Amino acid sequence: MADAQGYIAHAPGYVLNEGPKIVTSRFPYEDSYTLERYLATGGYEGLKAALARTPDQVHAEVRDATLLGRGGAGFPAGTKWGFCPPGVWPRYLVVNGDESEPGTYKDRLLMERDPHQLIEGCVIACYALGLSQCFLYVRGEMALAQERIATALNEAYAAGYVGRNILGSELSVDVVLHWGAGAYIVGEETALIESLEGNRGMPRLKPPYFPAAIGLYGKPTIVNNVETLANVPWILVNGAEAYKQYGSESSPGTRMLAISGHVNRPGVYEVPQGVVTFRDLFYGDNYCQGIRDGNALKTFIPGGGSAPWFFEDQLDLPLEGRVVGAAGSMLGSGAIVVMDETTDAVRACLRVVRFYARESCGKCTPCREGTTWEERILQRILDGEGRPSDIDKLLDVADNISPGPDPVAAWEAEGLPAIPFPPKQTTICPLGPSSVAPIASAIRRFRPEFEAKITKRDSIPVMAAGGGA
Amino acid sequence: MRFTAENLRIAEEIVARYPLKKSALIPLLHLAQEQDGWVTNEAMEHIAELCEVTPAEVIGTGSFYEMFKFHPVGRYVVNLCTNIACQLLGAEELLHHAEQTLGVKAGGTTTDGLFTLEDVECIAACTEAPCFQINYRYFNRTTPEAFDEVVAAIRSGKDPLASHGNSADPGPLPPHGTLARTRQSIPADRLGGIIPPEEATEPVWLARNQQGDAANG
Amino acid sequence: MTTTEPTDAPPGIPVTVNGQEILAEPGELLIDACERTGAYIPRFCYHPRMKPVGMCRMCLVEVDTGRGPALQPSCMLPCTPGMKVETESERTKKAQEGVLEFLLINHPLDCPVCDKGGECPLQDQTFAYGPGESRFVEEKRHFEKPIPISENVLLDRERCILCDRCTRFAKEVAGDPLIHFQGRGNHTQVNTFPDDPFNSYFSGNTVQICPVGALTAKPYRFKARPWDLEEVESTATVDSVGARIAVQSSRNVVLRYLGVDSDAVNWGWLTDKERFAFEAFNSPDRLGSPLVRGADGGLGQASWGAAMRRAAELLAGTDPARIGVIGGSRLSNEAQYVWARLLKGVLGTDNVDAQLDDGLPAATVLGLPRATIADACTPGGVVVLLGPDPKEELGSLYLRLRHAAVEDGVTLVECTPRPTGLARQARHHLHPRPGEVAELARALAGGEIAGTDVAGVPAEAVRAAAAAMQGKQVTVLLGRPSLAERPGPIVDAAHALAAVPGVRFLSGLRRGNVHGALDMGLAPGLLPGRQTLDAAGAAFAEAWGTVPGSTGLDTLGILRAAAEGRLDLLVLLGADPLSDVPDTTLAAEALAKVPEVLAVDLFVNASAASASVVLAAAGPGEFEGSFTNLEGRISHLARKVTPPGTARPDWMLGVELAALLGADLDITGPADVWTELAALAPIYADVDLARIRAEVREGVLVTGGPAALAPEPTSAPKADAYSYRLVATRKMYDLGVMASHAPSLAVLAPGTSLGMHPLDADALGVADGDTVSVTSPRGAVTAALRRQSGIPRGVVTLEVLQPDVATTTLIDAADTVVSVRVERA
Ligand SMILES: Cc1cc2nc3c(=O)[nH]c(=O)nc-3n(C[C@H](O)[C@H](O)[C@H](O)COP(=O)(O)O)c2cc1C
Ligand code: SF4
Ligand code: FES
């Protein structure tokens, strides 16, 4: 099963460490994705438990568990489920399996390793809310996940867990595998819906703030992340109270975290929510076991590429959404990227910014034009073609995408009051403003590194006297 | 190419799974790419007919997504991730190496039509950095040497997944265009019922709420 | 309403804009409310006639809805009570400057050579709101410079700012999503599918709404700079919708028509035919002087004196009973009146018909309760299509109906012999067998449905449509659905539908100012002001001196009389019977037989070629007057340029001819006509040219008219000796006189092929593209076959006035329907 380091060969990157396992409990089994193994390990018991109760009772159970969304925003699923306007039919369920936030790696494992768990969660949600059809939107580049889900769905249909008269009841729900084709923005829920309608994946305007009111085909639609729904069968089997035994009071249960970069034991961990600190994670024996080569920590991204960076000052914060938000960043999608002291801040910043420039859907002028401009300025600086005025220009361009002071942990480090996340934006969705996070983070904290790259080139004419001041 | 008879049958099955036809657009573009290795104009015209939209709408949607290729690409498309987690562990150097091994710049296709190399964004294997995909199958924690071995294996007709893939994916590695090697297929007698949104009514099982309330109250 | 009644009208939504309270209308968008009350917010993507997309972000303003000020796109934000808005704060300004700077970084600096320069919103807003200088030192985005996306429209993707206006128009408004965003992010571009051009009848609108110079129209490219243009608002005359246009000219040449947003009519949109029609009026083929047939037998230029004398001789020297006058829809209302008076009040002939046997009896059109476009588009209503395909023949009306069906829940019921351009939006597709539509109409109006079908339409479908009409506001679009079917069955059907409670009829007569012509009495039995000869004859005789003694011949009657040698003079008032009547064989016989022809026209058309005298008339934009659209709405026809050569306005020709015949009409200009009409026609009591000019945007709706007369009895279709019934319809673009003189339109006639249901084609053993011969008792043509599942069984379709296939040679006006035999050629 697990090797000396706790890795499991058939679940690459997953670390079997100490601690409660809710959604990864079957990962050690090589054949965890088969219906046979699923049934042998308590599979579809949650669905049976659900069918023994009324739909409202099932909804209440999930609400009581305070199951927080795992897609990034951390909104409680049970509350969101309550947003469907009454009496409007049909209602749809769309599962967000588009995982593409830089640093994020968890939903793919759940889909490859335990597709039935996800399917069961979907069917339970459909039962609870009267959702008549479910679309499982899997990221296009995840061929194996698509294959595993297709196989699992074929098995589940044949065995009566999905489709007409599920388990002999009057519940009839179709679960359809849908797959994307390469576009990060499609992870944003309204873009996901556009994509599912066969359109360009461009986010819709808000309000409505949730597609629960107006979603797929203009009908009420619940969008949930893969990991969120994967928790549902366990909650139905074990109850909300049992769920709340794990994690903190405001963030119960566990969540999957991918910790990558310069740590000794990078991996995907299922961790109790809200209690473990970043220091535990990076240095603890049960987790990453320290920074590589004994190097010092330079900075880390606490919640995916869109999150403002943290520094050693934030190491002792617990992984608790509200605390992290107040400190000027977010936990986002459970993606933590660790950079040690050897990291070139400008290069790292450019790489993250380039991601947003490439992934902008192109709808909003500031995002479409601004992110590319940012990338090009940064590229010039990195290439030694920078001008002294570039740094302030970069910050001002960023300000035109995300106006006002930016939420960055560096404020606190400078002794200034923290600016809480999320930032303000001139755009429709947070993608454009996300490009500002690395810029603001890196420049506030590592400005001399930028300046060093610029002043190295004496031959570049300085624009105006004092331009660099 | 338009769809072959067999693929047309699959296409129609896919279209039937959606309440509105246009939703099948992306899956059908994948099917076309599976058939021809890339998406041809004829295929898009056929898809437009099946989804009852214009060809301009098909290419409008299709060209938004980077997996669709509107010109021929290699039989093996190598997607090498250089995003932050991989960059930190040498992905940019690995890309440079790959460019030299294959003799093309990122975005290019080798003259023998075997490989297309792409510099891509995060592929959700960050803990396995640096990593790449070939035809969307993973190669984890790679090195320049491992990359060369994979290329050599393909050139000599061997399945690289067997030797260098991860044990989660049994292979074999299909040609570019093929994603899942198993398709979803819903037997007619198991279908719950897929109908246009305007025809929907309140699902029958919600009646249990009343019964439940009555029972409780 | 009395003053004591409590008013429960909403008082408006209070919103504070820059410290000042304004009242917004319920549902009004912030951007509109601000503009209406004087605080214009810059914008690029927002267009009031399309759904907002909030893409460009130019309209960001600081809005506080109680949770602190935040930048919000005002084009997406409906006003809510208590909103506080800052359109000029520092934050707002910085955001707008930022957006402009972003838009400019990839925008080329080619304003000096750009058609839009001088009228470019991007340029204007850069001056008004933009940052001083560019901080962008990188290379701009590059695309191949303008690429043609259709015959008449070019696209420069470097200039495009991706506002989604053209693409939204194509999909949302026109329903032709043939241009689309392609690519993503900073590589997004607008384009067509390869080799599939933006062939939309409405493509020119995209040029007009493009906020930069990315889309340009070939007919206008590099012709002028906006500051050289003079402009006047007027009305398009190519069809009877009467879309509002701005006529722009420079140095006495019309260079461009633009759509003007008339709420009642065209909402700012035009068909390309309307937009580019000015080319025909600028054509070098225009008549600049009168022509008279000389001793050598050929038509030659003559002096006006000689030509008018010859014309007067012809008129004076012919027994009024042996004169026939066809045409008049090209004329302004005022000219129509003058000619009606000349013909009926001076000469005393009633053989006058503005329609070309391709319409409906005037009594039916004027006599049934009439609808406006807005009536037809009332949310939740039902529109029965019992007339021409609006998409092909009444383009701007098509856009309104399409919008009504897609956005406002209007149910469309097709009662046409073949599917129309609204088939996708229509809920009910009833395609009765040609000649039998009245039976269907009776069933729809609540009649018994006995068998399994009604006129070939399944009884189920008829019942469903009848049920959909129950209790709804029903409007019938009434006109001639097919030139191969006589008006009789349509008239019967219309009168059957008149039994539907509250039903109203929107006229679908299509030809230019035909409604003006009917209203001015250019039809047998009618006098100006929607009055009949019977009812108002005496009053008119007093004013005019005389009126015809009895009802005269209509166009069919005139042509028959001519062909039978019972006519000595045929007057063609801007008419070309050889092209425009359904039975062109009859027209040819008539023209060959009639001794003299007098034509008044802009061009020497095919029929006028045999004339003894051709009087050169002024065209649209060259005279002052007015136009009456299919609703009965009168709007202004403005004069902007002088006619070619010495061509004269039609009204003037009428007055002068009367004078030569010894009658002083005492009309010195178009305004005088209204003075006279006010006295003679109650419906015009409060209409005059000054009012028409003043109300140019929405026009003056004139209601009232004679009660419906008894319908013309229909002869039942003959038993079919031949196997198929023919449906002959028009396309937007054809070989008609106007289009063939507009170079941008002339190339667009698509040709025709024989449409047939696939099962019928199978039975015949013919495949798509096979050449077939089509034979009627009257004639024969060959055409390529096109299998089309929408066409009913037993019916075949052809379009008229298309290259290579002389469809109308199959038509015999004596037969209610045209039966044809189809064989593999
Ligand atoms: C730019 C952007 C990208 C996103 N990508 C993802 C994603 O890949 N997967 C995901 O589950 N949620 C993603 N989200 C969040 C979704 O919009 C949505 O909040 C989430 O799927 C809701 O599920 P949950 O409530 O279960 O977390 C993204 C949001 C944004 C703004
Ligand atoms: S912020 Fe960027 S990604 Fe988001 S909607 Fe706007 S353009 Fe698209
Ligand atoms: S006008 Fe509002 S976003 Fe463009």
Could B58 and C193 be called an inter-chain contact, meaning their C-beta atoms sit closer than 8 Å?
Answer: yes
Shortest alpha-carbon distance between residue A269 and chain B (Å): 11
- The residues, any chain, with a CB within 8 Å of residue B148's CB and separated by 6 or more, are B101
Percent of chain B as helix, strand, coil, to the nearest 5: 45, 10, 45
**Angstrom distance (rounded) from CA C393 to CA C801:** 13
Q: Cβ distance C685 to C676 under 8 Å?
A: no
Establish if C671 touches chain A: CB-CB under 8 angstroms: no
Q: Cβ distance C637 to C332 under 8 Å?
A: yes
**Among candidates C394, C418, C358, C380, which has minimal Cα distance to C477?**
C394
Mean pLDDT of chain A: 94
Q: Does residue A435 have a pLDDT over 50?
A: yes
* Predicted local distance difference test score (pLDDT) of residue C11: 77
Decide whether any atom of ligand 3 lies within 6 Å of the C43 Cβ: yes
Tokens of B55: 């060809």
Establish if A1 touches chain B: CB-CB under 8 angstroms: no
The whole-number average pLDDT for the span B79-88 is 98
- Work out the burial of residue C38: count CB atoms within 10 Å of its CB; fewer than 13 is exposed, 13-18 middle, 19 or more buried: exposed
| Residue A120 parent element (H or E) | helix A115-129
Establish if C107 touches chain A: CB-CB under 8 angstroms: no
Q: Whose Cα sits closest to atom 6 in ligand 2?
A: A364
* Predicted local distance difference test score (pLDDT) of residue C713: 60
**Among candidates A323, A329, A320, which has minimal Cα distance to A410?**
A329
**Among candidates A356, A353, A346, A433, which has minimal Cα distance to A384?**
A346
- Work out the burial of residue B147: count CB atoms within 10 Å of its CB; fewer than 13 is exposed, 13-18 middle, 19 or more buried: buried
Tokens of A285: 């024996």
Q: Cβ distance C216 to C154 under 8 Å?
A: yes
Kindly give the distance from the C-alpha atom of residue A191 to the centroid of ligand 1, in angstroms, as a whole number. 10
Q: Which residue out of A354, A359, A363 would a mutagenesis test of the C interface target, given it has the greatest number of C Cβ atoms within 10 Å?
A: A363
Shortest alpha-carbon distance between residue B67 and chain C (Å): 12
Residue C102: φ, ψ to 5° = -60, -40
- The model's pLDDT over B20-63, given as tens digits with 9 standing for 90+, comes to 999 999 999 999 999 999 999 999 999 999 999 999 999 999 99
Q: Which ligand is nearest to the CA of A360?
A: 2
A vs B, Cβ pairs < 8 A, gives 262
Q: What is the DSSP letter of C294?
A: -
Q: Cβ distance C628 to C395 under 8 Å?
A: no
**Angstrom distance (rounded) from CA A55 to CA A67:** 17
Residue A287: what residue type? Y
**Angstrom distance (rounded) from CA A369 to CA C55:** 12
Q: Is C422 left (phi over 0), alpha (psi -120 to 50) or beta?
A: alpha
Decide whether any atom of ligand 3 lies within 6 Å of the C44 Cβ: yes
Q: Does residue B213 have a pLDDT over 90?
A: no
Q: What is the DSSP letter of C682?
A: G
Q: Cβ distance C495 to C360 under 8 Å?
A: no
Kindly give the distance from the C-alpha atom of residue A307 to the centroid of ligand 1, in angstroms, as a whole number. 14
Helices (H) and strands (E) in chain A, counts: 18, 10
Q: Cβ distance C174 to C200 under 8 Å?
A: yes
**Angstrom distance (rounded) from CA B136 to CA B125:** 12
DSSP sequence for B39-108:
--HHHHHHHHHHHTS-HHHHHHHHTTSTT--SS---SEEEEEE-SHHHHHTTHHHHHHHHHHHHTS-TT-
Q: How many CB atoms within 10 Å of residue C144?
A: 9
- Answer whether the bond into residue C148 is a cis peptide, omega within 30°: no
The strand pair at C613-616 and C625-628 is best described as: unpaired
Q: Which residue out of B69, B77, B116, B122 would a mutagenesis test of the A interface target, given it has the greatest number of A Cβ atoms within 10 Å?
A: B122
Residue C662 sits at the vertex; the CA angle it makes with C660 and C668, to the nearest 5 degrees, is 70
Decide whether any atom of ligand 1 lies within 6 Å of the A406 Cβ: no
Q: Which ligand is nearest to the CA of C35?
A: 3
Residue ranges of chain C whose pLDDT lies below 70: 1-10, 132, 707-722
Q: Which ligand is nearest to the CA of C73?
A: 3
The whole-number average pLDDT for the span B162-183 is 92
* Predicted local distance difference test score (pLDDT) of residue A150: 98
* Predicted local distance difference test score (pLDDT) of residue C739: 85
Q: Does residue A465 have a pLDDT over 50?
A: no
Q: Where are the alpha helices (DSSP H) in C325-458?
A: 333-340, 362-367, 373-376, 390-393, 395-407, 437-444
Decide whether any atom of ligand 2 lies within 6 Å of the A428 Cβ: yes
A chain contacts of residue C106, beta-carbon cutoff 8 Å: 369
Q: Which ligand is nearest to the CA of A79?
A: 1
* Predicted local distance difference test score (pLDDT) of residue C716: 62
- The residues, any chain, with a CB within 8 Å of residue A216's CB and separated by 6 or more, are A92, A94, A135, A193, A196, A197
The strand pair at A335-340 and A174-179 is best described as: unpaired
Kindly give the distance from the C-alpha atom of residue A385 to the centroid of ligand 2, in angstroms, as a whole number. 29
Q: Which of B53, B55, B66 sits opposite C196 (nearest CB)?
A: B55
Residue C615: φ, ψ to 5° = -95, 130
Q: Does residue B214 have a pLDDT over 80?
A: no
Residue C660 sits at the vertex; the CA angle it makes with C657 and C664, to the nearest 5 degrees, is 85
- The residues, any chain, with a CB within 8 Å of residue C257's CB and separated by 6 or more, are C236, C245, C246, C247, C248, C270, C274, C275, C276, C277, C278
Orientation of helix A345-359 relative to helix A436-455, angle to 10°: 130
Residue of C nearest to A389 (CA): C135
**Angstrom distance (rounded) from CA C755 to CA A189:** 46
Kindly give the distance from the C-alpha atom of residue C134 to the centroid of ligand 3, in angstroms, as a whole number. 22
Contacts 24+ apart (CB under 8 A), C304-313: C304/C646, C304/C648, C307/C613, C307/C615, C308/C615, C308/C653, C308/C656, C308/C657, C308/C660, C309/C660, C310/C612, C310/C613, C311/C598, C311/C613, C311/C615, C311/C657, C311/C660, C312/C657, C312/C660, C312/C661
Decide whether any atom of ligand 3 lies within 6 Å of the C45 Cβ: yes
Q: Cβ distance B147 to B101 under 8 Å?
A: yes
Decide whether any atom of ligand 3 lies within 6 Å of the C57 Cβ: yes
- The model's pLDDT over A9-64, given as tens digits with 9 standing for 90+, comes to 999 999 999 999 999 999 999 999 999 999 999 999 999 999 999 999 999 999 99
Q: Which residues pair with C16 in a beta bridge?
A: C21, C84
Decide whether any atom of ligand 1 lies within 6 Å of the A189 Cβ: yes
Instruction: Provide the ipTM.
Output: 0.95
Decide whether any atom of ligand 2 lies within 6 Å of the A429 Cβ: yes
Q: Which of B30, B89, B191 sits opposite A174 (nearest CB)?
A: B191
Q: Which residue out of A17, A93, A194, A217 would a mutagenesis test of the B interface target, given it has the greatest number of B Cβ atoms within 10 Å?
A: A217
The whole-number average pLDDT for the span A140-168 is 98
Residue A240: φ, ψ to 5° = -65, -35
Orientation of helix B91-102 relative to helix B144-155, angle to 10°: 30
Q: Which of C181, C184, C193 sits opposite B55 (nearest CB)?
A: C193
Q: How many CB atoms within 10 Å of residue B217?
A: 5
Separation of first and last alpha carbons in chain A? 59
B chain contacts of residue A344, beta-carbon cutoff 8 Å: none
- The model's pLDDT over B133-143, given as tens digits with 9 standing for 90+, comes to 999 999 999 99
Q: Where are the alpha helices (DSSP H) in A252-364?
A: 278-283, 321-326, 345-359
Decide whether any atom of ligand 3 lies within 6 Å of the C108 Cβ: no
Could C192 and B64 be called an inter-chain contact, meaning their C-beta atoms sit closer than 8 Å?
Answer: no
pLDDT category at A466 given cuts 50, 70, 90 is very low
**Angstrom distance (rounded) from CA C130 to CA C102:** 10
**Angstrom distance (rounded) from CA C12 to CA C581:** 55
- Answer whether the bond into residue B130 is a cis peptide, omega within 30°: yes
